[in-house]
Amino acid sequence: SGKVPASNVLASAPSDKNLGAWRELGCRTTHCNLEVVYRSTLVFLATKPHILPAVLEEIRPAVGSQHIVVSLVAGVTIQTLQRLLPPGTKVLRIMPNLPCVVQAGAMVFSRGSNAGDEEAALLKSLLSSCGLCEEVPESYIDIHTGLSGSGVAYVYLFAEALAEGAVKMGMPGALASRIAAQTLLGAAKMLLETGEHPAKLRGDVCTPGGTTIYALHQLEKGALRATVMNAVEAATNRACDMAKD
Amino acid sequence: VQKMGVNFTVSNKDTVKSSDVLFLAVKPPIIPFILEEVGPDIEPRHIVVSCAAGVTINSIEKKLSTFCPTPKVIRCMTNTPVIVREGATVYATGTHADVEDGKLLEQLMASVGFCTEVEEDLIDAVTGLSGSGPAYAFTALDALADGGVKMGLPRRLAVRLGAQALLGAAKMLLESEQHPGQLKDNVCSPGGATIHALHFLESGGFRSLLINAVEASCIRTRELQYLADQEKISPAAIKKTLLDKVKLESPSLSVASASKVSLFTSKSKKN
């Protein structure tokens, strides 16, 4: 989005597998994590959880008071991060979701003991270009996983089912899928832009004795609401459990 | 009724002669018999209000038109809480009932709760919702009280608190501009007791059960209306009607067996 010139971004990875994409955007790349830490002030950690401890060991000597370390690593707490980095390091933890890649993401972040308002503001301003970015207490991060991290998959499932219903009723699949996606997009947009309660928006669509209320009755019969609540709960609990490992 | 200072009679005919607004408050299968009985005495000034579930304006007008060319008929659906002046009443005006006639009824019924005019084809839905509604509420209250008792409350207190909770919630909703969904959210603090409880309700398909109930009551009302229109009245209802007629015309006579009744009825008709 132009907030940071690509040439100011340095990405590091063990192999060239993913680095090509960075280079195409105009970023510099390296295979050396330490180089990233030496040459940058804002450092994002984006490894798989089991790899992170080793990476932190590696870069620890080079981390100083000027650095801002932002972890995107699922399940690794601020406490753990601060333990594995030099005392006094400014640490923040962020949980994004997949649609960040189309600038319609939902991200929450929490700050560690040494990260202040300036760091939080910087992160928020940088990442807002990828979508919604809010600071939260760390305890909300697992909930965010259940709601929005995994939540994207629930929406894909719902979209698939909508399209299948349409196909059953005689619409070609490709068209049905595009319309299903647009329906979700449009409804979400209305929710976000009107700020109205979803129940009110739902009521607005339901003309007495009309098609919508008949369909909603089917959804209620299937206890969709409870099932969705169960899903969010299950994913959140799983995130908590995994963090403990 | 007499204790309230209301004039009381056992004669339907007398009631009609000395009144302008007639409320027919009998069971639906009896309506045709009552209309036959009072039909001759109906005058243009009379407003006939029927509260019988499933009995259409059309069927009443048809029956009365043999006696009076332009009968004023209003059909009304109310519910039991009129007893405590918190009724829910709707009415639909018939072909010859004027706007003022409707307004008069509305004024009368508004004194015992909420009253509004609707199109007649909505009355079955109203029956399903607010007609039967108190029964749904009583069932819910019984169960809520059970919940309270299970968790240690004495029964009387549990019933009192449950009823007050529903009363208060209903009042909040009626006095608020907010959507019930919003009001619900306002009670649910994150991770708190209420949201845990609501999850149970959702898991049990609480909402769909209520939708099903309103639907079932509405559909049944339509069925009963259809049966009534076909004039398919059960023999038991007919027998009871005749017994009642006898009781009305000679309150001092005790009714013993069926055979006695039929003899007496035919005799009285000759008179």
The per-residue pLDDT for range A83-101, each reduced to its tens digit, is 999 999 999 999 999 999 9
Answer whether A210 touches B (CB < 8 Å): no
Q: Quick one: how far is CA A98 from the chain centroid?
A: 5
What is the pLDDT at residue B54? 83
Nearest to B211 among A220, A223, A229 (CB): A220
Q: What length is written for chain A?
A: 245
The tens digit of pLDDT for each residue in A229-240 reads 999 999 999 999
Q: Quote the domain boundaries for residue B50.
A: 2-120
Per the CB < 8 A criterion, the answer to whether A63 and A86 are in contact is yes
Q: B59, B87, B120 — which closes off a domain?
A: B120
The CA angle A76-A82-A85, to the nearest 5 degrees, is 110
CB contact under 8 Å between B211 and A217, yes or no, is: yes
| Interface with chain B: mutation pick from A197, A201, A218, highest number of B CBs within 10 Å | A197
B258: in domain: no
The tens digit of pLDDT for each residue in A210-224 reads 999 999 999 999 999
Q: B120, B154, B182 — which closes off a domain?
A: B120
Per the CB < 8 A criterion, the answer to whether B72 and B60 are in contact is no
B187 and B113 in one domain?
Answer: no
The C-alpha of B151 sits at a distance from chain A's nearest C-alpha, in angstroms, of 24
What is the pLDDT at residue B169? 97
Nearest to B199 among A199, A203, A226 (CB): A226
Question: For the whole model, what pTM was predicted?
Answer: 0.79
Number of domains in chain B: 2
B63 and B11 in one domain?
Answer: yes
CB contact under 8 Å between A197 and B179, yes or no, is: yes
B153 and B86 in one domain?
Answer: no
B113 and B25 in one domain?
Answer: yes
B17 and B107 in one domain?
Answer: yes
B241: in domain: no
From chain B, pick out residues whose CB is under 8 angstroms from the CB of A230: 203
Nearest to A226 among B202, B212, B215 (CB): B202
Does residue A4 carry a pLDDT above 50? yes
B111 and B21 in one domain?
Answer: yes
From chain A, pick out residues whose CB is under 8 angstroms from the CB of B208: 217, 220-221, 223
B97: in domain: yes
Helix, strand or coil for residue A19?
helix
CATH of the domain at B203: 1.10.3730.10
CB contact under 8 Å between A197 and B181, yes or no, is: yes
End-to-end CA distance of chain A: 37
CB contact under 8 Å between A223 and B185, yes or no, is: no
In the numeric block, which tokens belong to residue A107?
A: 């991200």
From chain A, pick out residues whose CB is under 8 angstroms from the CB of B202: 223, 225-226, 229
Complex ipTM > 0.85: no
B87 and B192 in one domain?
Answer: no
Domains of chain A, with CATH numbers? 6-137 (3.40.50.720), 150-243 (1.10.3730.10)
Q: B197, B223, B249 — which closes off a domain?
A: B223
B263: in domain: no
Question: What string of DSSP letters covers A30-90?
Answer: ES-HHHHHHH-SEEEE---TTTHHHHHHHHGGG--TT-EEEE--TT--HHHHHHHS-TT-E
B230: in domain: no
Tell the residue number behind the tokens 């019924």, with chain if given.
B109
B251: in domain: no
What is the pLDDT at residue B235? 54
| Interface with chain B: mutation pick from A136, A201, A204, A221, highest number of B CBs within 10 Å | A221
* Ranges of residues in chain B whose predicted pLDDT is under 50: 250-271
Instruction: Give bridge partners of residue A160 from the DSSP assignment.
Output: none
User: Which strands form A105-111's sheet, in the order they lie side by side?
Assistant: A42-45, A68-71, A90-95, A105-111, A131-135
B255: in domain: no
B237: in domain: no
